[in-house]
Structure 1
Amino acid sequence: MNFFLNSSFNAKNSGIEHAQLKRAKLFEKFGEDYRLVFREWNPLLHFHLNNNGINDKYILNIFDYFQEATNVQKKKIRPKDVNFGVTNLRYEAEKDNNRVIVYSNNQIVARINLFDKDVTNDQIVKSVELFDGFANLYRVDFYDYRGFLSMAQWYTPDNKIATETWYTPEGRPAIEDYFRLNAQGKMEKSGFKTIDKTGTVRTHNNIVGLIKEFLEQINVEFMDQDHPNIYVMDRSDYFEEILENLSSPTYTVLHLHNSHAGDAQEPDTSIMNNNYEYSLTDANRYDAIVSATEKQTKDVKRRFNPDVDMFTIPVGVIKNEDLKGQRIPMKDRKKHSIVVTARVAPEKQINKIIDAMGMAKKEVPDINMDVYGYVDHSNDDIAMKRINASLDEYDLRDAVSLHSYTNDVTGVQRNAQLYALASVMEGFNLALMEAQAQGDVGITFDTNYGPNELIVNNENGYVVDYDDTKSLSDRMVKLFTDDELLQKMSDQAYELSNRFSEDSVWADWKQLINSAKKTWQDKLKTYHFDIKKGLSDMEHTEEV
């Protein structure tokens, strides 16, 4: 089995989650089974993944697994479906708060919170806050969107969480955790336990133990003598320290979705990206490392000299129908338009693209840009502060439109002429790849990794020196004042996108899978399968 490991999946996701979706669809297309594995409890996990075309059978969440809820019959739980065990109930809707207050004989019994309107308008129960006879909150029940009580939080008299219990859809407790006072007098989680259908209880000091129990079980459950269990760590937190210590054989893969170096422009000497520091330090304990670009593969080899196999596999895949789709000429697109589809975050440096536009405005007065993406408000909203400063400096508020996250990425890219990047670092940049597949001409700083490989300089766009905003501006002017050049580079953007066709990327994954198969038999030689024969249909004799 192929396992793709992550933390969670939500309405708004990063490039890692989008890369997982593309890989999942690729594996489905070529008949290779897989599971998307998530470690965080999320009552909307199946909802969001289903909306992105992922069937429940491919979703494997740790909590779902112990709750026996990986694949359940969906139903809708509405406010009046909740049983409170009392009579004379009165329901008062608070539409502004998207909740219903429940009373019995004028005494509050519960607050029923509904799933947000961006999820459903169908009045589906999200959580229920329960109150005792003195109107004290004593429990909050959380419902999975699929229609069952998933988790209950029990409160102390001073209104702090004491215990959390996760249930099967039939109502059997499956997981519990506990909160205790630490040395500073603050409540914190102090342990987990699982209870299986036979009543067997297993205890753990922390979430690491719970994850390890899960991985131990699924690794044996999916064990196959012919096909290795391949674990691809898309997000390696927790998994990185557990996988190497499982009692049964695995083929483990560290996937680098971003620069391994804190300063991507100094890959040989910079401090490591903290997301990969543990994994790269212990890289020789895994079986393979995957990066999305040839340049990063070479840089990792040169700096760390790992003993494990290294593979270059693009994280982006362009569907065959998109490669064969209708090409939109530059003259039929919004004139002198730039598009960016990315998080509005400090490391994306969208303000520098605006600076380049400001410099180009003298030569191209109608230059314009649309930015689509949710805003990262970290560091005192520094990203937006820089953007606003650039907009004011160059008087571009009428030329630059900031939009929220869009699900119609293809549509906005097909209407634009240029796709611009000024990132500090990247791991690949799916948005740029997708824009090129729609014929957008790319312009970027010489940024590691991805942009300076996706854009072939002077063919499908321009790569300028890192942080050279003036040169970025010059390329905008050059393209927007030469229609023939703009169209020529757009044609090349379409052509060079064949590098990321389904067949091409699948061939790269097949190399990794075949390599894993070659080592699998040697791994199995040191492993003894559990005894299964002779343990059932035994005769019972009475003791004398």
Structure 2
Amino acid sequence: MNFFVNKSMGHGNSGVEHAQFYRAERFREKNIPFKLIFTDRLPQLHQHMKEWHIAESEVIGIYDYFLSDDPDNYLQVGEQHTHDFYEEVLWDTTDTQRLIRRQATGHYTETVQRRKQYLKEKNVYRIEDDRVILDNGRHKISWHYRNEGSRGKRATNIRVDNFRGKHYLFTTFEELLDFFFLELQRRFEDNVYIIDRGSENEETLIRMKQQGIPLKIVDVVHAAHFVAWDAAHPLWNNYYQYMFDHFNDINLIVVATQLQREAMISQLTAIGMIDVSKKIIAIAVGGVSSPALITPKKWDGETIQFVTASRLHPEKHIIHIIQAISQLRLQGMSATLAIYGAGSEEKQLISYIASLNLSQFIQLKGLSQNMIQDMQAYDVFVSASYSEGFGLTYIEAISNAMPIATYANLYGAQTLVRDGVNGHLATFGPKNTDEVANVKQLMDAMRRVCDHYDELSVGAAEVAKQFSNEIIADQWQKVIVKLL
């Protein structure tokens, strides 16, 4: 079995989850078996699976599995007793949540007991989860939390009652993960674990492999892997440090672009590692279905409608795009912006747009379940991200023959946007003091796209041909065949 290993998914997802959903489509097309694994506590999992059109038979949730009446059947067909989600909260006399009881969308209820602790040094109260109980009447999982300083809140003394007729106690979540993945090893054959997220998952699987358990590990890199050189020593992105530390235990590393592959090979070779090129391959995260049928767009020269789509988080720099639109309008250009996505910055962005008196011209559209289709109503895609391992939204724009204006980030923009061919790249500096200059560069790129719109749309249709879904599906099929 081929497992896509992750921690969670939800109503709004990051590029990691969307990359998994996209890969799942390619595996379905090739009839390659796969299962998505989620190891976080996800009381609304099955609701979100329906939103993103993921079948029950394609998912294994760690808690659904341990709470199942028939674990073997669950591994094959998924959860067959789903529920509507709701929760009830018990508040104390100081208006503090002390007990939360939820009906999960899986076949269990979730009870969370919370503790209130006065922190004298900060003169504040801290309210946090203390005990969690998952129960469906026949099976139960429960644990306490303890604080471990810099490591944060950690589950401890995890009881799993009546799993396959036995009771278990795990002192840490890592022990529970070990048991879970060993269960999968016993129930499936020829297992390939494609790790997308979760250092705990990666550590468990590498430990198992070092113990001689027959499994294959594929690490997928979704972001920039390299930070800087410290003398002759590379400083890696923390998410990938463990992968590089255990390079020899990993069967394959998949990056999204040839640029990143070449950079990784060069960096590893520079520190004395040999034959690394055989273990690192590039497969695009997303592609285009029927690129030959894409029709270039034409702009009438009137209002130019920009669109962006991402999580609404600070690292996406949506405020830069809003500032660029404001400056374009002050210069006399009739420009509008639609912002798709959800996240922690939503209220701040709404307030900022209103402060510029731009609410009529810049609108937040919420999450999209079909960004390729929703983009068709607009003219130009714009991004202000400083870093993209690939950038599925670039592909969605290219699928619509839509010109792109973006910061020239590694590695997505520099792979998918050919300056002067299907869009324009804006230079940028990474420091806070660079932001004013960055916004001006982005605004200039947005204006230049409008100056040569029709030609850039033709270029986008041509670039699309290099990112065919069929090619990407073939690449994944070859990887799986080679690993087996």
Scaled by the length of structure 2, the TM-score of the pair is 0.80
Aligned counterpart, 2:175: 209
Q: Identity rate of aligned residues, in percent?
A: 23
| Cα distance in 2 between the residues matched to 1:310 and 1:5 | 19
- 2:276 maps to 1:310: no
| Cα distance in 1 between the residues matched to 2:340 and 2:148 | 44
- 2:322 maps to 1:341: no
- Counterpart mapping for 1:111-190 below 5 A: 124=84, 126-127=86-87, 141-146=101-106, 148-153=107-112, 163-167=131-135, 171-178=137-144, 189-190=155-156
Aligned counterpart, 2:386: 424
- TM-aligned CA distance change 1:250 to 1:16, over 3 Å: same
Higher relative contact order (CA 8 A, sep 6+): 2
SS, match of residue 476 in structure 2: helix
SS, match of residue 86 in structure 2: strand
SS, match of residue 236 in structure 2: coil
The Cα of 1:396 is off from its aligned counterpart by 5.1
Aligned counterpart, 2:124: none
Does the CA-based 8 Å contact 1:339-1:412 persist in structure 2? no
Let me know the Cα RMSD of the aligned residues.
3.6
Aligned counterpart, 1:288: 252
| Cα distance in 2 between the residues matched to 1:488 and 1:417 | 13
The one-letter amino acid paired with 2:222 is H
Aligned counterpart, 1:454: 416
Q: 1:369 aligns with which of 337, 352, 356?
A: 337
The Cα of 1:294 is off from its aligned counterpart by 0.7
The Cα of 1:34 is off from its aligned counterpart by 0.2
- 2:50 maps to 1:50: yes
Does the CA-based 8 Å contact 1:333-1:415 persist in structure 2? no
| Cα distance in 2 between the residues matched to 1:387 and 1:503 | 43
Aligned counterpart, 1:259: 224
- 2:278 maps to 1:278: no
- 2:160 maps to 1:194: yes
Does the CA-based 8 Å contact 1:422-1:445 persist in structure 2? yes
Aligned counterpart, 2:81: 74
- TM-aligned CA distance change 1:353 to 1:217, over 3 Å: same
- TM-aligned CA distance change 1:404 to 1:437, over 3 Å: same
| Cα distance in 2 between the residues matched to 1:334 and 1:235 | 44
- TM-aligned CA distance change 1:331 to 1:68, over 3 Å: same
| Cα distance in 2 between the residues matched to 1:138 and 1:354 | 41
Q: 2:453 aligns with which of 472, 486, 489?
A: 486
- Counterpart mapping for 1:359-508 below 5 A: 359-361=327-329, 364-377=332-345, 384=349, 392=356, 398-467=360-429, 468-481=438-451, 485-508=452-475
- TM-aligned CA distance change 1:128 to 1:349, over 3 Å: closer
SS, match of residue 193 in structure 1: strand
SS, match of residue 8 in structure 1: coil
- TM-aligned CA distance change 1:333 to 1:429, over 3 Å: farther
- Counterpart mapping for 1:81-92 below 5 A: none
The Cα of 1:433 is off from its aligned counterpart by 1.0
| Cα distance in 2 between the residues matched to 1:176 and 1:313 | 41
Does the CA-based 8 Å contact 1:459-1:492 persist in structure 2? yes
> How many pairs were matched up?
443
| Cα distance in 2 between the residues matched to 1:474 and 1:11 | 35
Deviations 1:222-260 (A, max 9, x none): 12xxxx311111103201211111142111111111111
Q: 1:352 aligns with which of 316, 320, 324?
A: 320
Does the CA-based 8 Å contact 1:445-1:452 persist in structure 2? no
In terms of mean alpha carbon deviation, does 31-40 or 353-362 score higher? 353-362
| Cα distance in 2 between the residues matched to 1:178 and 1:345 | 31
Q: Which has the higher helix share?
A: 2
Which consecutive residues of structure 1, in runs of 5 or more, have no partner in the other structure? 77-123, 132-136, 518-544
Does the CA-based 8 Å contact 1:258-1:427 persist in structure 2? yes
